[in-house]
Structure 1
Amino acid sequence: MTQEDVAREVGVSRTLVSFAFRGAPGVSNETREAILDAAQRLGYRQNAAAADLARKQPSAVGLYLLDLRNEVYADIFYGVREALEEAPNRLILSVSPTANSLGRAAVDSLIEARIGIVIAATLLDSDADVQELAQTVPLVSVARRVPGVDSVYSDDPAGAKAAVRHLLELGHTRIAHLAGPPHEGHQGRRRAYERMMSDAGLPPRVVTAEDYTQEAAEWAILPLLADSGRPTAVFAHNDVLAVGAREAAYRLGFAVPDDLSLIGYDNSRISRLHGIGLTSVDLHAPELGRSAGRAALERLANPLAPAVDLSSSPRLVVRGSTAPPPAEAQKDRP
């Protein structure tokens, strides 16, 4: 079924049918309704990619997600989809092959699909590489600030400070940080933790997982938790790593929070599950997705507008995984 068939059915030119589908001026409301009704009756579906080629201005939105196993990216996806719900733009999805992959190859696949803009959540590439990529295709960075590039993100240092402050106020002095791989642009939580510990006169203890999976977190934190001077609390880079730390604790016979307090980051669905009840920093992922979707539409409409730099305030959500340190650790308090 083609536009020619629709035009023949209505008795108009194919050009007029094309104008009607595109919402272009020059078509009366009565004629447009007749064309759309005929298209529906005949089962015609417009080829959006071909429409982009015809007007030589791609309008599809590409969405890159780092890791579908981390439910925070599902939350971002739903937010983006909601923002685009009333827009005619197609949404094309690309996912990183691993939880620690640079995103250029996945974004290149979106570019090959003739998208007009990329929403990227979350690129692990360097700032310079992301800035270079943004010269190839308009790009909105989600959950990470990249100077000179449209960025929609949460204030990671503020979120990390709230997490560490909560543990300090509970009386913990042996607080470790379970960090993700040291990619540029993703160190705000670690640096804020280190500053908070230093300001409190306490030694920071950082363990780095080799990727963002639960298994990597479990094996990274096991030696530290098995040590005689083990921490009484762990602040993890995200909820997935926090769950890995929880599994390591149970493997060693420790209970959460009686023996070990845990804080994650993202406030993803897993943190809210009964039986886990993970204290976590809420970065408001659905709203990040909605803001990114709106920013993408604005960039398509105004290609020369200044770069968007939109930061939101995270919120600590306290659940059952944090408590005062065990009695034998109370003597460590200064």
Structure 2
Amino acid sequence: MSRSRPTIYDVAQEAGVSKSLVSLVIRGSKSVSKESEMAVKDAIKKLNYQPNRAASDLAAKSTKLIAILIDDYSNPWFVDLLQGLSEVLTPEGYRLSVIDSITSQADSSQDPFGNAMSMRPDGIIIAQDIVGFHAPDTAPPFVIAGTRLTPARPEDSIANDDVLGARLATEHLINLGHKKIAHLCVPGGAGSKRQESYIATMRKNGLEPILTQNQHPASEKVGFQDTLELLRNDPEISAIFASNDVMAIGALGAARELNLQVPSQLSIVGYDNTPLAQTRLINLTTIDDDSAGVGRNAAHLLLNKLFDAAPHPPIIHTLQPALIQRGTTAPLIEC
């Protein structure tokens, strides 16, 4: 090895396993197979690997608390994210503290990351947009979950491929014969990526994008109002791609208000594959962004940072989305 002091990455390479698995073995996790455990221990012995002293000191002062920054308790996307986080962090003895830093604060100028730090957590999961975010030198280890507004510098992150997901949703409607396809926009990192991809896909297929101008957080009410305005201004719109499932459910309500049948008169696609979308009553066609998988991966990234404090280039993982076709989309019926 070229390094004078072996790292956890060297151990993982020597053992032929992932860095996450090495961390689990060193922490004494019971979720590792005997074969993998032996391979890691043999590699540690061979390389004479010693855990980072700073990480050991941090563990000695551990509060066993992980702070999770979200921006909307009412968005069911966070349900699966938190489930994924809990599946990994709870068995390791960590408590999760969820902070809704938007709706729970009267003064939106407060620093949400600073508020989380005041709890003295071992680590932080950032699952909200923070404009121009730059962590202070005293910050605990943290990971960004989901596509967020660009931070001041690259950070460890895990997200769904929003560009691909939005393209799948838009192409699905185009392939069904729809030409007048509107997009319910939402602000933020993920919303911007989905909007840009929708526009690019429409134009690539020779179609004109139809966009809402919403600058409010995603909600059923906003989805309802925006859809009413779209359809009243342009009754020829035959399909809607909503930036998330909450907005799509609002669109379903607007269709009912206007006595439009879904999907025979109006097709609707959401995004996130939330528990609500999966119910038989709503049965929403949507994009599955594996939000629970985002949570699990974010938790593993954070555990790695908690254990091994050695500097490393930012780790950026992207999960592949999938179209889930249900009962709210159908081929265009030409009148």
TM-score bracket for this pair, using the shorter chain length: 0.7 to 0.9
Match of 2:283 in 1: 277
Counterpart of 2:126 (choices 120, 129, 138) is 120
Q: Using the TM superposition, give the Cα deviation of residue 277 of structure 1 relative to its aligned residue in structure 2, in angstroms.
A: 0.9
Distance across 2 between alignment mates of 1:189 and 1:226? 24
Residues 212-260 of structure 1: CA deviation (Å, up to 9, x unaligned): 1110121122111112443100000000000111111111111111111
For residue 217 of structure 1, what is the amino acid of its counterpart?
A: G
Counterpart of 2:198 (choices 189, 193, 198) is 193
Match of 1:94 in 2: 99
Residues 155-201 of structure 1: CA deviation (Å, up to 9, x unaligned): 001011111111111000000100102x3464111000000010111
Q: Using the TM superposition, give the Cα deviation of residue 301 of structure 1 relative to its aligned residue in structure 2, in angstroms.
A: 1.2
Q: Tell me whether 1:144 sits opposite 2:151 in the alignment.
A: no
Match of 1:315 in 2: 322
Match of 1:75 in 2: 80
TM-score computed with the length of structure 1 as normaliser: 0.75
Match of 2:113 in 1: 107
Distance across 2 between alignment mates of 1:53 and 1:313? 34
**Do the aligned residues in 2 keep the contact of 1:141 with 1:151 (CA within 8 Å)?**
yes
Any idea what SS the aligned residue of 2:323 has?
A: strand
Residues 185/226 of structure 1: CA separation in 2 closer, same or farther (3 Å cut): closer
Distance across 1 between alignment mates of 2:138 and 2:285? 40
Please give the residue correspondences for 1:1-334 in structure 2 after superposition, counting only pairs within 5 Å: 55-56=60-61, 59-98=64-103, 105-121=111-127, 123-126=128-131, 128-129=132-133, 131-132=134-135, 136-144=139-147, 146=150, 148-181=154-187, 183-184=188-189, 186-209=191-214, 210-303=216-309, 304-328=311-335
**Do the aligned residues in 2 keep the contact of 1:99 with 1:213 (CA within 8 Å)?**
no
**Percent of matched pairs sharing the same residue:** 30
**Do the aligned residues in 2 keep the contact of 1:266 with 1:283 (CA within 8 Å)?**
yes
For residue 300 of structure 1, what is the amino acid of its counterpart?
A: L
**Do the aligned residues in 1 keep the contact of 2:157 with 2:317 (CA within 8 Å)?**
yes
Q: Using the TM superposition, give the Cα deviation of residue 102 of structure 1 relative to its aligned residue in structure 2, in angstroms.
A: 6.6
Any idea what SS the aligned residue of 1:231 has?
A: coil
Aligned residue pairs total 274
Any idea what SS the aligned residue of 2:222 has?
A: helix
Q: Return 58-67 or 259-268, whichever deviates more.
A: 58-67
Q: Using the TM superposition, give the Cα deviation of residue 283 of structure 1 relative to its aligned residue in structure 2, in angstroms.
A: 0.4
Q: Return 188-197 or 106-115, whichever deviates more.
A: 106-115
Distance across 2 between alignment mates of 1:322 and 1:295? 37
Residues 55/71 of structure 1: CA separation in 2 closer, same or farther (3 Å cut): same
For residue 263 of structure 2, what is the amino acid of its counterpart?
A: P
Distance across 2 between alignment mates of 1:186 and 1:227? 23
Any idea what SS the aligned residue of 1:73 has?
A: helix
Larger radius of gyration: 1
Residues 57/103 of structure 1: CA separation in 2 closer, same or farther (3 Å cut): farther
Distance across 2 between alignment mates of 1:316 and 1:249? 22
Q: Using the TM superposition, give the Cα deviation of residue 54 of structure 1 relative to its aligned residue in structure 2, in angstroms.
A: 10
For residue 277 of structure 1, what is the amino acid of its counterpart?
A: N
Distance across 2 between alignment mates of 1:154 and 1:103? 28
Any idea what SS the aligned residue of 1:208 has?
A: coil
Residues 112-151 of structure 1: CA deviation (Å, up to 9, x unaligned): 1101221022x2222x22x346873432111115551111
Any idea what SS the aligned residue of 2:312 has?
A: coil
TM-score computed with the length of structure 2 as normaliser: 0.75
Residues 253/125 of structure 1: CA separation in 2 closer, same or farther (3 Å cut): same
Structure 2: gaps (5+ residues): 1-26, 28-56
> What is the RMSD of the two structures over their aligned residues, measured on CA atoms?
2.6
Any idea what SS the aligned residue of 1:180 has?
A: coil
Q: Using the TM superposition, give the Cα deviation of residue 57 of structure 1 relative to its aligned residue in structure 2, in angstroms.
A: 5.4
Q: Using the TM superposition, give the Cα deviation of residue 293 of structure 1 relative to its aligned residue in structure 2, in angstroms.
A: 0.8
